[in-house]
Amino acid sequence: MKSLQHTLFVSLIVVSLTPTYHGVEIIGGHEVEPHSKPYMVSIQKDECGKKSNTHYCGGALIRSGWVLTAAHCQSKGSIRVVLGAHSLSRNEKSQQKLQVKEQHPHPQFNKKTKENDIMLLELSNDAKINKDVKLLQLPKDKDADVKPGTRCTVAGWGVRTAKSNSPSDTLREVMLNVIDRKTCNSKDYYNRKPVVTKDMICASDSKGREDAAKGDSGGPLICDSKFKGIVSYGPRKPTAKKPGIYTLISKKYLDWIQKIIGIQTYNMTTEGFY
């Protein structure tokens, strides 16, 4: 009986966000095949008293010198990204560790309403694209929205249990279903606190046991094999009526990315796409 209870507990996914917006983490789910998601990025920072950098957010490599993540992952100190990783503790030959040259949070990011929770990280050097480090193609603006009921996945190195403060050593993922915005904004769900806008996606499993959470913030939401959203916000305890909220990569954000990077993002070639 204890074994069954333990199994059920570790399968729960909790969505959690710290008051200072230092990210969200996956609890439970399953470990992915090593290096099967070569676009995944671990964003890390120096922690006082610790010998190594600490993972606190996720992201996706969209160009050799640019990572897309959440605006609430912005840090006052220096940060770096780790590419080509499966295990964060092992010295994998596939890993590339690059410093972040500049952080570009969306100028209209609102911590209270969760709106415009998107940020670009400009890397100090270009990543070397290979079998373990590849680009994730941005969506096309004409089909940016995601229909309710769509099956999606989200991956990250976030914590595996609600009581843990340490990230998962290996990359894990969960499966989610998109929920329509009207339902998500209803009194039985978020009751418009915050308001789920047309630039956001609501997603969870049907029983409220699986979702993204602290440490997974900024990671990509993949729907029908397409990059559609960014892990943004969710409640501390798992519940079917408090789904995770994701920033939808809509046309307005594609235009903003184009302005910052200086290229037409949604007509990029698929070179380097996983």
Please give the positions annotated as active site.
72, 117, 217
Task: Of 251, 252, 225, 217, give the one whose Cα is nearest residue 73.
Answer: 217
φ/ψ of residue 183, rounded to 5: -65, -45
What is the CB neighbour count within 10 angstroms for residue 258? 16
Task: Report, in angstroms and rounded to the nearest whole number, the Rg of the chain calculated over CA atoms.
Answer: 17
For 205, the token pair is 């499993």
For 233, the token pair is 């916000």
List alpha helices for the chain, DSSP H: 2-10, 181-185, 251-261
What is the CB neighbour count within 10 angstroms for residue 106? 20
Give Cα 162 distance to the centre of its chain: 18
φ/ψ of residue 247, rounded to 5: -75, 120
What is the CB neighbour count within 10 angstroms for residue 193? 8
CA distance 149 to 111: 28
- Amino acid at position 238, single letter: P
- Element at 58 (helix H, strand E): strand 54-63
For 76, the token pair is 């006052």
CA distance 223 to 149: 11
